Amino acid sequence: MKQLTAPKPLRLPSDAAGLKFRIMESDVLQAQVLAFGGSPQKMAFSEVYQALQTGTVDAQENSWSNIYSSKLYEVQPYAMETNHGYIGYFVAVNRDFWESLPADIRAGLEEILAEVTVWGNARSADINREDRQRVADSGNTQIIELTDEELAAWRAVMRPVWDQFRDAIGADLIEAAERSASPER
């Protein structure tokens, strides 16, 4: 999951207004930053540390593992635990190649992929939990846990973005994300 880091606490969307946010190349992320009044700056991940250090950008979003491994916590005094975005990975294969494999081979590969996915997701969660603690232990960055009410304010500002991209992303995926973000879950 992704978190926000910034030079000041961002408890409500209005707190982020006017800040320059580094984002990866994504129309969805651009629309999100614009929705809360920020200025989206598309740039390569390799440039983020220096951009934060020099003030080219003010804030960014990333997983705990990326915040820790790239030392972004050294140049960002606040990290908001928002879990606002998911970073996932997938295996892609050419359809013709896949369909050319014997059914038993495809079934075996699907079984292995399902098993490895469970392991990989669990390992990723462990790494992010450990790196969150490392960021906290560094003493450089204060981690702010948002209340349910504060998270609800962020969701309300994002709702038009969800609606804007619903057809492109898929209503089923948007609805699954909404359910997982709900405090009642």
Handedness of CA 59, 63, 66, 69 (dihedral sign): positive
Q: What is the pLDDT of residues 161-184, one digit of tens each?
A: 999 998 998 888 888 877 776 655
| 43-89: pLDDT as tens digits | 999 999 999 999 999 999 999 999 999 999 999 999 999 998 888 88
Kindly state whether residue 92 falls inside one of the protein's structural domains.
yes
Is 135 a member of any domain?
yes
182: in domain = no
| CA distances in angstroms from 25 to 34, 42, 45, 97, 174, listed in the order given | 14, 6, 10, 30, 20
Domain around 20: 2-168
According to the model, what pLDDT value does residue 183 have?
A: 57
The two three-digit tokens of residue 90, written as one number = 């997938």
Mean pLDDT of the chain: 93
Q: What is the mean pLDDT of residues 23-49?
A: 96
Query: Does the predicted model carry a pTM greater than 0.85?
Result: yes
What CATH number is given to the structural domain containing 125? 3.40.190.170
Q: Considering the domain boundaries, does residue 176 fall inside one? A: no
